[in-house]
Amino acid sequence: MKNEFKNNIAFINARLIDPHSGLDELGDLLTDGKQIKAIGKNLFYDGTSDNILKIDCKGHVLCPGFIDINTHLREPGEEHKENINTASASALAGGITSLVCMPDTQPVIDQIPIIEFIKKRARETNGVKIFPAASITKNIEGKQLTEMGLLMEAGAILFTDANKTIKNTKVMKQALTYAKNFNLLIMISPQDYDLSLNGVMNGGALSSKLGLPGISKVAEIIQVERDLRLLENSGGRLHFSNITTHESIIAIQKAKISGLKVTSSTAPHYFTLNERAVDEWKTFAKVFPPLRQENDREAIYNALVDNKIDIISSHHSPQDQDSKRLPFEQAEFGISGMETLLPISLDLHFNGNMELIDLIDKVTNQPAKLLNLDTGKLKINSPADLTIIDINNSNKINLEDMKSKSKNSLFDQYNYKGKILYTIVDGRIVFESSKLK
């Protein structure tokens, strides 16, 4: 349903949750065009005018729309796996109103015309807000820096070489130094190049049993510690994505305490699943970085509950069936994640005793702060990017119902609580799963 004729929406009887302000109470919210106009209790005690669309939230959660900082949209170049239209539909079904697309497309997002192409396609789709990330190095080869200043002016929101790390220490130091001068954000998915080369799953007893080349957890730990040392020397802002090990959490937390501008994120599969998901060579469990042992999975889970990891992202990495239904070593890495972001993460609230406002903080306020966005909060005059959630709705994930073109997920038939009822972008209802009459 599109809100094409009415510029205002009145949301009444909502559980308003806003981590930015600490708000968690029943109340109402009014939008005016693309912005939030009013928030409070009993805003509509004397009724609403005829030109306002009225939605009774019936006590369900109304919070800022989710912001996903790590997604692979596959366009341009691999539209048979995903494209901006299908990715947008998938994001909106998952309550995501803004996302950052990774630069490992074909061609790579390392030139201004590619950024302009992404922005144009996002405008044409007119769905989820898409912010392009540009690569740190040309063609993601780790050798020569891109023109980061010019790419920032063209619209690049952060800089990353996606799943690849910069092997050359001197180049990484140059990147951090250059980025500091422009106050740019560098994002790294930390895996030492040589230690992870040709690996397909977590290194250890299970990989040996299955006869598969492993990626030792040391590959992540060494990369994190190297880049923290470089950050300490150069200054600037650094974000580690897809953290999977206990030792990385300790190193990053220590760096934060010492005053470094460092943050981290992880994805639901890393705190929900462990390497045993690979049993019987299940290629849907082939992700990069790999699923780790149970003790590391528990450490990631607990670090989120204890607020030692800042953000949860989907790490949406769609693959087509032909890329996954291959012998394990030949299959592509990746998992579809946007539509399962909320239902999988809600386990932290229901079973991990994490306050709901703190969980929502990791998919709204914290990513907005990291990216310097004005969204991610319920504030007057801020963008009306909103999500309505029935957190107690019990159901099973059915991959066939996903909006994403690719359905490579390990969570088929997974029992969960939590359902996205509405997603609103700039005051427009762009996804509706269930009418609230």
DSSP states along 3-63: --S-SEEEEEEEEEEETTTTEEEEEEEEEETTEEEEEESSTTTT---TTEEEEE-TT-EEE
Question: What pLDDT is stored for residue 124 in this prediction?
Answer: 96
Distance separating alpha carbons of residues 291 and 278, to the nearest angstrom: 9
Residue 271 lies in a domain: yes
List pLDDT tens digits, range 155-206: 999 999 999 999 999 999 999 999 999 999 999 999 999 999 999 999 999 9
Pair 371, 67: CB distance under 8 Å: yes
Same domain, residue pair 84 and 147: yes
- The answer to the question of residue 365 being in a domain is yes
**Residue 52: inside a domain, yes or no?**
yes
What tens digit of pLDDT does each residue of 10-53 get? 999 999 999 999 999 999 999 999 999 999 998 887 766 767 89
Range of 188's domain? 65-371
Q: Are residue 314 and residue 226 in the same domain, yes or no? A: yes
Integer Cα distance of 102 and 28 in angstroms: 36
Residue type for 352, please? G
In the beta sheet, which residues pair with residue 238?
A: 186, 262
The CATH number linked to 26 is 2.30.40.10
Amino acid at 314: S
Q: Examine the fold and report which residue of 345, 371, 397 is the final residue of a domain before the chain moves on.
A: 371
- What is the average pLDDT value for the chain, to the nearest integer? 95
Separation of first and last alpha carbons in the chain: 14
Q: What is the pTM of this model?
A: 0.96
On whether residue 300 sits in a domain, the answer given is yes
- Give a yes or no: residue 378 inside a domain: no
Domain shared by 364 and 399, yes or no: no
SS3 content of the chain, % helix, strand, coil (to 5): 35, 25, 45
- Residue 1: is its pLDDT beyond 90? no
d(CA 225, CA 195): 15
Helix (H) or strand (E) holding 227: helix 218-234
Backbone angles phi, psi at 207, to 5 degrees: -65, -35
In a domain, 226, yes or no: yes
Structural domain tally of the chain? 2
Residue with tokens 């992202």: 313
- 221 and 320 fall within a common domain: yes
Q: Do 110 and 125 sit in the same domain of this protein?
A: yes
Instruction: Determine the pLDDT at residue 51.
Output: 79
Does 409 lie in the same domain as 329?
no
Residue 1 lies in a domain: no
Look at residue 102 and tell me if it is in a domain.
Answer: yes
Whether pLDDT at 4 is above 60: no
- The string over 220-259, giving b where at least 16 C-beta atoms fall within 10 Å of a residue's C-beta and e elsewhere, is bbbbbbbbbebbeebebbbbbbbbbbbbbbebbbebeeee
Same domain, 247 and 391: no
**Same domain as 82, residue 13:** no
- What share of the chain has pLDDT > 70, as a percent? 97
Mean pLDDT of 251-265: 98
